[in-house]
Structure 1
């Protein structure tokens, strides 16, 4: 239709030109295709010859033959002379040829291209339909499934993996083609967890972590330190599980359990061959339920039923002398502020005026909790920490309550495991008060803040969003807090122990890392040692024989696995049940007594 309209416009224009240039007669003209001329764009446009003839009664075509009609050669009959017969006309004719290009508008170009593509698509679709129809018939009728499966695997192996989504590409390959995947239950879940763990693992930030549902619950419980049990701590020494601490106001204390009692049996199950984790699972349970214990005390077996109760073991405290209180915070969980306040109430009633705040081995916790604890020792509105996000925006966290008590001076104990929120409190008190002394060893140095985002299945992503700075702008990350007075414990607590193998035995003149372990334990327990370099001297043998005698072991003077485990266990037991070897605590008491 567009061709007809454009052609009529051209004809009208030619007639007008003819009348202007040939006033003595009407110009008769003819249009015919003249091929295709090259164009700048990709479309091809037909070109027409326009022929002007001075004699209006005779038309000569391009081959010289006369015609009784005027025809537009692309199919449009312009005029037919039905009245006049063919006449001879010798009058000289003048022929003028013009090249006229038919213009295609953008819409016409797009339509023409779309029609061409659609036509090609229909041809391709028909071919593919026939191909897959035949392939499916042959594959299903002539070939076994195993063959087609193997063929599919071979084809997929020959193809490259999608660079745009490598994680899912690898996951799909492992799920479909990994040999060991057949033996793994919940393979999809495991691969997903491993992929996420790989995403969050980086050298810049070791504190961004992904937790499964079980790990997330355990992590949260570790911070809040809440559980349902009886309220004891125990230590395994070569198959013997010895109670090292009985918590105050717990079912264990009410039942009469004591430090040094051996956990012998629980609900009819012998505990001598159980690990510490297995014993915990047996003793802990639902609130209000009863666990039937048998304990060994001075070679007597005593039975006692103990009721389980929901407990929180977040803090501990005691009065050391008439005016010094001792408060230990294990973590900064939901109830740390309330627990600290209860102990401060006890200290105030006892007339305590100075405090030892023990943050050793405190790995941190919630910043809201550390702000609650700081409010006990700082005036309202005091800065506790500054938090800086990746855009450089700084938020200052301040105490929101009136200072709870005026206790002081304060000594804070820290060590290499004091981290995060525990470091926040240490810096806040030391910078905001003039009566704080820090004793111990350099702290861990964790100066970042993480938030938790949970998935619907209970798993969670804990990732770093900010760094924290002290009220004065100090960043302790990877540096830690240096104490005002550096005091180290016995060297046995900084030593890495080897695991002595079953069947090994060391005698005088032997050399082994296990002999070095033995010498350090003997020295800590108060026995004489002449060297700690792994060489088994005669003096070490004599003192080892004395240890064996004191604890009822076979007196050989040689180091076997049984003696090795007992040495290590007694070292831990003494540390957990007494304070006479705690040099850092002793220094804290000395500082406060001298003030």
Structure 2
């Protein structure tokens, strides 16, 4: 019988499933994982009084598991206080087994989570085509995808998502927001954005979001190729873009891999073959038994580039790093890597599907560059390091709900304020967290641009506004 093949992932270093809440499962899912070591973690209080019961007869580790499950679900005194006890016991067993190794890239996904995971790689959903991030409950647009409904509607990086179909969304969960924004193909969603203190309302027609790459000529001989992820369709998209570049006489390429967290190994091999001559090594994989597998280029090169500049940052991870290393080590002086140190995600995952559409995603190998270098936990240092502004490097420190910072105070959030104001062109005198008179003066100038109360008091609302303005200016520049 032909062995069932599964897709191998070099997925983004950090996925929602890796910080997931505990999930509901049934006992049958444990039965499907026979042969794996199970770990239970229960709290024992020193000095507790307990009685000794009759020994439990069991002949195998799995029988012991079933016996413990039965005892805990039927005889454990405090079980009466636990909501959905049996589900929780199974939940904890699976989490202990999967998470016990400390590998954040190994996880068990329900069918719904598995779909979300693969949709994240393929961008296969109906929506508006934006990427946003959570600033302590305020959702700020980080990227507007090319050719998307959002771009056509005039949505900009830095816009704050304020209302969806009339309902305010500040403070709701990210999944809940996504559910509100997504919908049926052709349906309309009305979103109110906050832009520089002004409400901007957009009626956006939802559409399938499948584009994972974008290309354009930026002058007669220089082309720009952006790759957002390595999904199912990315290889064909990139091939079409490169064919267009060849037709237009492109000689130099800017390859933008910033914020690309990776994707499928097969897609990486396809795209690498568009740049590396046949037989050139793209990636090596080192497995648990010490053996190494080498993937080589199929030689689909169409353009003989005079120069390739690759843009990277700290969110360039996994398959993106593989491509950077493959081009850099195979093409030599033709390639210049520009940006900041990449993430350093050097492991390979595969998926084991189950009949209920859930999956076990687990690490099977560590990948090496063509020359045999390891990058896991190390990353790739660019040839030309472009230092990020302090606020982009350090990020924003959130405040608690209702918390305020008054002048003549010391607080870590004031560091964020000072760094953000400096980035936006204000003349702050320090960036050490002391809310000095000069810092207050410059912040009041910023507040005045919004036409609201000018009091110099820092709140989470102002931090979110600063965050949005920094994102907008950063993308504009």
Fold-level match, TM-score > 0.5? yes
The match for 1:447 among 327, 346, 349 is 346
**2:109 corresponds to which of 197, 211, 225:** 211
Secondary structure (helix, strand or coil) at the match of 1:168 reads: helix
TM-score (norm 1): 0.63
The residue that corresponds to 1:135 in the other structure is: none
When structure 1 is superposed on structure 2, of 268-277 and 310-319 the one drifting more is: 268-277
SS in 1 for 2:263: coil
> Does 2:470 align with 1:571?
yes
**Counterpart for residue 285 of structure 1:** 183
Residue matched to 1:475? 374
| Pair 1:158-2:53 in alignment | yes
Is the contact made by 2:160 and 2:468 (CA closer than 8 Å) also made in structure 1? no
Bigger shift: residues 178-187 or 542-551: 178-187
| Aligned residue among 394, 400, 404 for 2:298 | 400
From 264, 268, 282, the equivalent of 1:370 is: 268
Measure, in 2, the Cα distance between the counterparts of 1:349 and 1:489: 36
Q: CA deviation at 1:433?
A: 0.4
Residue 231 (str. 1) matches residue 126 (str. 2): no
- SS class of match (2:466): helix
Structure 1 residues 249 and 395: alpha-carbon distance in aligned structure 2, compared to 1, 3 A threshold:
same
Question: What's the counterpart of residue 410 of structure 1?
Answer: 308
Q: In structure 2, do the counterparts of structure 1 residues 571 and 183 end up closer, same or farther at CA, with 3 Å as the change threshold?
A: farther
Moved more, 471-480 or 536-545: 471-480
Q: Following superposition of structure 1 onto structure 2, how do residues 16-31 of structure 1 map, counting pairs within 5 Å?
A: none
State the SS of the aligned residue for 1:214. helix
> Is 1:422 paired with 2:320?
yes
Decide which moves more: 327-336 or 362-371: 327-336
Residues in 2 aligned to 1:440 and 1:301: alpha-carbon distance in whole angstroms? 33
What do the CA deviations read for 1:362-402 (whole angstroms, capped 9, x no partner)?
22211101001111111223221122333333322122242
Query: For the residues of structure 2 that align with 1:157 and 1:176, how far apart are their CA atoms?
Result: 17
1:562 lines up with 2:457 in the alignment? no
When structure 1 is superposed on structure 2, of 260-269 and 184-193 the one drifting more is 260-269
What corresponds to 2:254 in structure 1?
356
Worse-matched range after superposition: 194-203 or 175-184:
175-184
Measured after TM superposition, the shift of residue 244 of structure 1 is 6.1
Instruction: Name the TM-score, length of structure 2 as normaliser.
Output: 0.77
Q: Give me the whole-angstrom Cα distance separating, in 2, the residues matched to 1:443 and 1:303.
A: 36
Which residue in the other structure is 1:463 paired with? Answer: 362
CA contact (8 A) 2:162 2:194 kept: no
**RMSD (Å), alpha carbons:** 3.2
Match 1:384 to one of 282, 285, 288 = 282
**Alignment check: 8 A CA contact 2:349 2:364 kept:** yes
Q: CA deviation at 1:458?
A: 1.9
In 2 relative to 1, CA 541–216 (structure 1 residues): closer, same or farther, beyond 3 Å? same
Taking a change above 3 Å as real, the CA distance of residues 157 and 359 of structure 1, as seen in their structure-2 partners, is farther
Query: Contact 2:189 / 2:206 at 8 angstroms: preserved in 1?
Result: no
d(CA) in 2 for partners of 1:238, 1:427: 35
Partner of 2:213: 315
Corresponding position of 1:538? 437
2:228 equivalent to 1:330: yes
Superposition pairs of residues 33-112 of structure 1, within 5 angstroms = none
CA contact (8 A) 2:398 2:460 kept: no
Deviation sequence 1:27-69 (CA, Å, 0-9, x none): xxxxxxxxxxxxxxxxxxxxxxxxxxxxxxxxxxxxxxxxxxx
Partner of 1:553: 452
Counterpart-to-counterpart distance in 2, 1:447 and 1:240: 32
What residue in structure 2 maps to residue 528 of structure 1? 427
Give the whole-Å Cα distance in 1 for the aligned partners of 2:456 and 2:439.
8
Counterpart-to-counterpart distance in 2, 1:177 and 1:231: 52
Instruction: State how far apart, in whole Å, the 1-side matches of 2:455 and 2:192 are.
Output: 30
Match of 2:385 in 1: 486
8 A Cα contact 1:264 1:271, kept in partner = yes
**C-alpha displacement at 1:440, in angstroms?**
2.4
**Equivalent-residue separation in structure 2 for 1:307 and 1:207 (angstroms):** 35
Deviations 1:135-179 (A, max 9, x none): xxxxxxxxxxxxxxxxxxxx9961345674343333223222345
Compare 237-246 and 161-170 and name the one that shifted more: 237-246
Aligned length: 421
Question: Is residue 519–residue 529 contact of structure 1 (8 Å, CA) maintained in 2?
Answer: yes
Which 10-residue stretch deviates more, 239-248 or 377-386?
A: 239-248
| Structure-to-structure mapping, 1:148-187, within 5 angstroms | 158-161=53-56, 164-165=60-61, 166-178=64-76, 181-182=79-80, 187=85
Distance 2:238 2:77 in 1: 56
Question: Aligned residue for 1:259?
Answer: 156
- Would you say the 8 A contact 2:408–2:434 is kept in 1? yes
Match of 1:432 among 323, 330, 344: 330
Are residues 248 and 207 of structure 1, via their aligned partners in 2, closer, same or farther at CA, if it must alter by over 3 Å?
closer
3-state DSSP of counterpart to 2:305 = coil
Output one character per residue of 1:333-374: Cα deviation in whole Å (capped at 9) or x when no partner.
Answer: 111212222333444455432122222232221110100111
Contact persistence 1:375–1:404 (CA under 8 A) = no
Paired position in structure 2 for 1:507: 406
8 Å CA contact 1:229–1:284 kept in 2: the answer is yes
Hey, what's the Cα distance between the residues in 2 that align with 1:322 and 1:180? 73
**1:89 alignment partner in structure 2:** none
Query: Per-residue deviation at 1:204?
Result: 6.7
Distance 2:140 2:99 in 1: 39
Distance 2:425 2:97 in 1: 50
Whether the 8 Å CA contact 1:237–1:565 is kept in 2: the answer is yes
Separation of aligned partners in 1, 2:137 and 2:371: 51
